[in-house]
Structure 1
Amino acid sequence: MPPRKAATTTAKAAAAKAAPAKAAATTKRKRAADDDESAAKTNGVNGVNGVHDDAKPAKKAKKETTPAPPAKKATAAARAKTPASDADKENSAPAAANTNGDKTKKRAKSATPAPAAAKAKAPTAAAKRKAEAAAEANKETKKDAKKEAKKEMKKEDEEMKDAKAVEAADAAAEEEEEEEADKKKEARAAPAKKAKKAAVVNKPTEKIGAKINDAPTKPLEVFVFGEGSAGELGLGSVAVNGKKPVDVKRPRLNANLDPTKVGVVQVATGGMHTVVLTKDNKILTWGVNDQGALGRDTTWDGGLRDADADADSDSDSDDDDSGLNPHESTPAEIDTSGVVPGTKFVQVVASDSASFALTEDGRVYGWGTFRASDGILGFSRYVDVQKTPVLLPEPKKVKALATGSNHILALDIKGKLFTWGCPEQNQLGRRCVQRDIKESALRPGGVGIKRGVHIAKIACGSYHSFALDKKGEVYAWGLNNFGQLNVEQGAGDTDATVLNATVVEGLEGHRVADIDGGEHHSVACTDDGKLFTWGRIDGHQLGLAASTFTEDNAIFDEFGKPRILKAPTLVPGVPSTVTAVNAGTDNTFALTSEGKVFSWGFSGNYQTGQGTTDDIELPTLIDNTAVREKKLVYAGAGGQFSIVASLAEN
């Protein structure tokens, strides 16, 4: 497996003339790694950073159409007045009296007496007709006045009804808005509740299924080498016998993994951390834990010491202290509080910032996170960083796992392949919906491989993937910018990728036994022990002499230097007994049936185990006193460190 490098809405204060306003609901240490770290995402959850969905803009004040409220009751002093007498009531004018009464009073006060009725002249016929016409006209005027009054009353009634209807509609709209706001609040709270539920690990109640996988049983001696400045070597934080736990040039036995006490049976190297499985079913981790890849709490206060005591001391112990976090740099067991009781593990794998473990019954546990080009992608749709191991709901009945830098492959008992993680270089071998990338990419999905093909083995490069069928034929997909897929089309282009599983034509006719990928190169061995490499050239990743590359088999840059080997090419100088291969970012290992390991490629951090920071051009035997007499059975590369292991002596 390859190493992995590691707007606030306004309140309704402006609507003072309208209904009262409603109150608006107010509802990691990143190490300086090689890649840029973006801030942890909130997944666009509404209600964060002061944005509240339930706050509504102020409504325009309505015209007052409802009757004025009744006047307040009189004060106690007013109520103490003596009630009016009956005589007073009779003599007082009605509140609604018109001017007719007033005119009568004025006439009564007039000094000129009214003419006697008897003296009035009898009306003439013309005057009579005129009076009748005036009376008739008066009647019509009164009728018109009554009609107008009725119209006005009807209009007022209609306006009142309209006002009430508008008021009712506003009330209904306001109530609907409140309900909609409540729904949005519930919708926002749901993912948070789910995330909290997923992040808080409780003892699962699921039952253990039927056994379909077997765990390795033979204890290993573990040898480490490389930089180790982030605790990747697992040697602890303090020098032992004068040997510091960093910058280890050649394989060194890790005393913290004594086979008689710990009994490691399987090793997996990630970008900047390591995961191992022990004979007594424990999973130990060490290295960088910034995104939860270790599956346990590694909080450390920095190891504060008494300055006065140090000043009085003649000890040189300061030279023995590396300053590493002892909880990260020392192997320790993962948090198993979320593991179903009785679970037995059979395989562990590690990516850049995540780890996974396969169980005897084919279930998968995982912890950590996946990263994308802009930072954290997440562990699942609702969880950005999973700090402790959690049982994944799918897939089930899995037989094997493999990881790239930020993606994972799972092969089930029927030969069906599942992938999930970062899809940016098409390393998942399937299309993902961009508008809901967390749902489509972080949930396991199948890879389309032609009918009749039964996949038997899986492997990954940093950003590309491999699947081997039962006949030893190889399918590949993902990043192809350096031709690491043996697809010439697009090779040399920065963004060249292959979406669908494609046959590696350069290996046709060979029965491939093992395969792996680095960042931009690939390596494979056949069942008859032959070794093949292809892809990027300029860091000596392929183990081939410069004279190997020609205009026919390679792509040259503008300076006339070979950059890409287009097809798998046989690597000379290695015994024809290679049984397993492993690729680091820009370095490579080949393990032989005799228990020897050859390494080559970039060695800037001693990750080739050859004791130098110079690149190793050709395959070279790893040979020092620690491993010379050992039969090595494993070789793995991390980002800036590597591990080899041998069977423990009885």
Structure 2
Amino acid sequence: MAPKTKAAASKKAAADKVSKPAADKAAKPAAAKPKASSTKAAAPSKPASKSAAKPAPKSTAKPAKTAAAAKKSATTSKATAAKTKAAATKKTAAAKAAPAIKKPVKNSNGKRPIDDDDDGDAEPSSSSSSASEASQLSEPRPVKKPRVATSAEGPTGWRKQVVLKRRKRTVVNNPVPTILLDVFVFGEGSSGELGLGSKKHDGKKPIDVKRPRINHNLDAEEVGVVDIACGGMHAIVLTKDNRVLTWGVNDDKALGRDTTWAGGVRDADADDSDDEDEDEDDSGVNPLESTPTLIENGELEETDIICKVVATDSASFLLTTDGFVFGWGTFRGADGIIGFAKDIKVQPAPMLIAPLQDITDIACGSNHVLAMDINGKVWTWGSGGQFQLGRKPITRHAGPTATLTPQPCGMFGKKHYAVSIAAGSYHSFYIDNHGRVWSWGLNNYSQTGHYDDTGKDDAMVLQPKLVDSLKDANVVMVAGGEHHSVARTKDGKLLTWGRVDGHQVGQPADLFNEDNAVFDENSRPRILLQPTQVPDVNTQFIAAGVDTSFAVDVIGRVYSWGFSANYQTGQGTTDDIEVPTLIDNTAIRNREIIWAGAGGQYSIVAAEHESDGDSDGSPAVNGH
């Protein structure tokens, strides 16, 4: 019975060896010696090691072995070795596939590896054990984590993480504005557009401001505003110490911060009193939306110095001194929300806009953005339904989100490049290095300066086209409204063109004739076809709202004209202002205005603060 007992023992030892953790990454193909392999594999467990070492003395105690038994033992050893090798191979494959030790993508092009874990950039050594790998993963790494964007996904507000590309070093050094501004607001404020908060100040309500009023929340000495932008129903400012503040409507996250308010809507039946001295919060405006407040940092880093702010109807954007663009909010089209980026519907906080870099200027329309790089190339993105992006038509298969990635428009090179950009609601401009103006987009009121198909609802200029009527005008600045446009020449002339029926162009009634205008069925002027000079105004700055315009003259006086139903002209009336009219009230009468801007139903003008002050220390990211 000795051979049978020996064979059984050998078979049992082989089975024990396969069942123990011999098939780990340390297992080698050379483990054809079952006894040595079994002893080594059992090392992590001391009791198992002792029992596994016993069969060796048995085989030496009884050397007599039949040929059949020897053959059977050899066969068993070979089978055991094969099983051990297969188990080791399977274990190694499983270890390679395990997400906990997934190797990051090799970073050879300056981009961040796209890795959901992102616990470090070091590639694990192939010779390291599972224990050491687990230890490395549990320890903190001294590697800086990539910027992660949080974006709202769908109506439920679930957020998705997006790891962005690493930013490359650039040669751009955009200047930072330094002039401190006193900010004056007027127009509709029922949604917090004026930034006056929700309470009365000096006995005045923060809504329906008929004439310019100083915004007490933006004190030049304490806050120090140096740049301003007006969106459709929100506004954004940059301060002297690199902070960004926003206020207004936040339905599409255009404010870049949370404005959830526990106050909610007032109960109209709760208080029917006629007391003239009502509750200070009687405006019903959300105080978190109506008060200028810091945005969230999002993907902004400590080294980011902001030099410009701009806004669309539902989004906001920042330009940094080193030529990068950040944004948040969303873009809308004719059918509602398009999205902010390819896989992001609404972006709640600053996000780096790829692939833009070396950008020197940015401009916004209602739902599209222009960016100009250091080489004078113009990039566009956003809603393109009226060809305001100046690109070739997007194919149906590409889908509506294809326009959300910045791409160049037009043909640019060493001999032809942009030096300035501007945008109307649905049309766009750039001025080239020869002083010529190019335009594209919606043209139903000749707002691009081209009068082909003027008067037709679907009239559009598909790609950048030279505005012949401005060829010799030496234009240095352009601004666009919804259906009209304004330009300033090098010698201060004011030019306007486009829609007339709301007095958007500010031209006297006797100017229009059959040669320069289109009339309606009642013989009233409807469209001014070509850029035409407005008399008696010498400008240094121009701006346009939806149906309202502004011009600042060389001595700092500001003029307005156009649609005024919500007091957005600052003239104290809801009647349209037919021609450029001086805004004159005690708040700004003796002030030198240097900037103006307008949203949908409100406007802002700014004067240089009378006593400039320097900020203390180096700017911090968004003031934090």
Give the TM-score normalised by the residue count of structure 2.
0.70
What is the aligned partner in structure 2 of residue 618 from structure 1? 579
Q: Distance in 2 between matches of 1:255 and 1:554?
A: 44
Q: Which amino acid aligns with 1:316?
A: D
Q: What is the deviation of 1:213? A: 0.9
The 8 Å contact of residues 201 and 338 in structure 1, kept in 2 or not, is answered as no
Cα gap change, 1:301/1:473 in structure 2, threshold over 3 Å: closer, same or farther? same
- Find 1:440's aligned residue among 390, 393, 402: 402
Query: Is 1:602 matched up with 2:563?
Result: yes
- Residue 636 (str. 1) matches residue 585 (str. 2): no
Partner residue of 1:129?
none
In 2, Cα distance between equivalents of 1:307 and 1:559: 45
Kindly indicate whether residue 192 of structure 2 is the aligned counterpart of residue 231 of structure 1.
yes
- 1:9-20 → structure 2 map (5 Å cutoff): none
Q: Specify the SS of the correspondent of 1:440.
A: helix
Alpha-carbon RMSD across the aligned residues, in angstroms, is 2.6
Task: For residues 411-470 of structure 1, give each alpha carbon's deviation from its aligned partner in whole angstroms, at most 9, with x where no partner exists.
Answer: 000101100000100000002233223442001111113652120000000000000012
Q: Which residue of 2 aligns with 1:466?
A: 429
Flag structure 1 segments of 5+ consecutive residues without an equivalent: 1-188
Q: 1:322 to 1:215 in 2, by over 3 A?
A: same
Q: Give 3-state SS (helix, strand or coil) of 2:399's partner.
A: helix
Q: Deviations over 1:16-44 (max 9, x none)?
A: xxxxxxxxxxxxxxxxxxxxxxxxxxxxx
The aligned residue for residue 284 of structure 1 is 245
How far 1:266 sits from its partner (Å)? Answer: 0.2
Aligned to 2:522: 559
Task: Name the counterpart of 1:138.
Answer: none
Which one-letter code corresponds to 1:586 in the other structure? D
Supply the distance in 1 between the matched residues of 2:273 and 2:490 (Cα, whole angstroms).
Answer: 65
Please say if 1:590 is aligned against 2:544. no
Distance in structure 1 (CA, Å) of the matches to 2:288 and 2:237: 16
In our comparison, the structure showing a higher alpha carbon Rg is: 1
Listed as ranges, the matches of 1:89-488 within 5 Å are 199-200=160-161, 209-302=170-263, 316-318=277-279, 321-431=282-392, 432-449=394-411, 452-488=415-451
Counterpart CA distance in 2 for 1:531 and 1:474 is 15
Assess if the C-alpha contact under 8 Å between 1:194 and 1:382 holds in 2.
no
Residue segments in structure 2 that go unaligned for 5+ positions in a row: 1-115, 117-148, 612-624
Letter paired with 1:522: S
1:165 matched residue in structure 2: none
1:509 deviation in Å? 1.0
CA distance in 1, matches of 2:304, 2:159: 19
Higher normalized contact order (CA 8 Å, seq sep 6+, divided by chain length): 1
Displacement of 1:606: 0.3
Q: Distance in 2 between matches of 1:607 and 1:631?
A: 20
Q: Equivalents in 1 of 2:402, 2:268: separation in Å?
A: 54
For 2:566 and 2:265, how far apart are their aligned partners in 1?
30
Preserved contact between residue 380 and residue 407 of structure 2 (Cα < 8 Å) = yes
Q: 1:533 aligns with which of 489, 496, 501?
A: 496
- Call closer, same or farther: CA 1:393–1:203 in 2, change over 3 Å: closer
User: Is 2:181–2:225's contact at 8 Å kept on the other side of the alignment?
Assistant: yes
Distance 1:336 1:561, change over 3 A: same
Matches within 5 A, 1:503-514: 503-514=466-477
Deviation, structure 1 residue 321: 1.9
Confirm whether residue 495 of structure 1 aligns to residue 458 of structure 2: yes
Select 2:485's aligned residue among 510, 518, 522. Answer: 522
The 2-side partners of 1:640 and 1:323 are apart by 18
Tell me which amino acid in the other structure corresponds to 2:499: R
Distance 1:306 1:593 in 2: 50
- In 2, the alpha carbon distance for the partners of 1:285 and 1:463 equals 24
Q: Contact 2:496–2:533 (CA<8 Å) still a contact in 1?
A: yes
Which one-letter code corresponds to 1:623 in the other structure?
Answer: D
State the one-letter code of the partner of 1:233.
L
- Is the alpha carbon distance of 1:341 and 1:551 closer, same or farther for their aligned partners in structure 2, counting shifts above 3 Å? same
Counterpart-to-counterpart distance in 1, 2:160 and 2:240: 29
State the Cα distance separating 1:210 from its structure 2 match: 4.9
Query: How far off its partner does 1:336 sit?
Result: 0.5
Contact kept? 2:252, 2:314, Cα under 8 Å: yes
1:304/1:544 CA distance change after superposition, 3 Å: closer
CA distance in 1, matches of 2:198, 2:280: 11
Residue 550, structure 1, aligned to residue 513, structure 2? yes
Is the 8 Å Cα contact of residues 242 and 320 (structure 1) preserved in structure 2? no
Partner-residue secondary structure (3-state), 2:573 = coil
In 2, the alpha carbon distance for the partners of 1:203 and 1:325 equals 34
How far, CA to CA, are the matches of 1:304 and 1:473 in structure 2?
52
Between the two proteins, the alignment pairs up a number of residues equal to 458
Alpha-carbon offset, residue 304 of structure 1: 8.0
CA offsets 1:59-88 (integer angstroms, 9 cap, x no match)? xxxxxxxxxxxxxxxxxxxxxxxxxxxxxx
Deviation by residue 1:313-342 (Cα, 9 ceiling, x = unmatched): 989333652000000000000001421222
How do 1:34-45 and structure 2 match up within 5 A?
none
Structure 1 residues 487 and 206, CA gap change in structure 2 (3 angstroms):
closer
2:444 corresponds to which letter in structure 1? N
CA contact (8 A) 1:381 1:438 kept: no
SS at match of 1:223: strand
For residues 608 and 442 of structure 1, the distance between their equivalents in structure 2, rounded to whole angstroms, comes to 34
Q: Deviations over 1:271-325 (max 9, x none)?
A: 0000100000000000000001000000002258999998999893336520000
CA deviation map 1:543-573 (0-9, x unaligned): 1111111011111122222111111111013
SS at match of 1:317: coil
2:451 corresponds to which letter in structure 1? E
CA contact (8 A) 1:216 1:346 kept: yes
| TM-score of the aligned structures, taking structure 1 as reference length | 0.67
Seen in structure 2, the aligned counterparts of structure 1 residues 493 and 500 have a Cα distance that, compared at 3 Å, is same
Percent identity between matched residues is 54
Separation (CA, whole Å) in 2 of partners of 1:392 and 1:633: 30
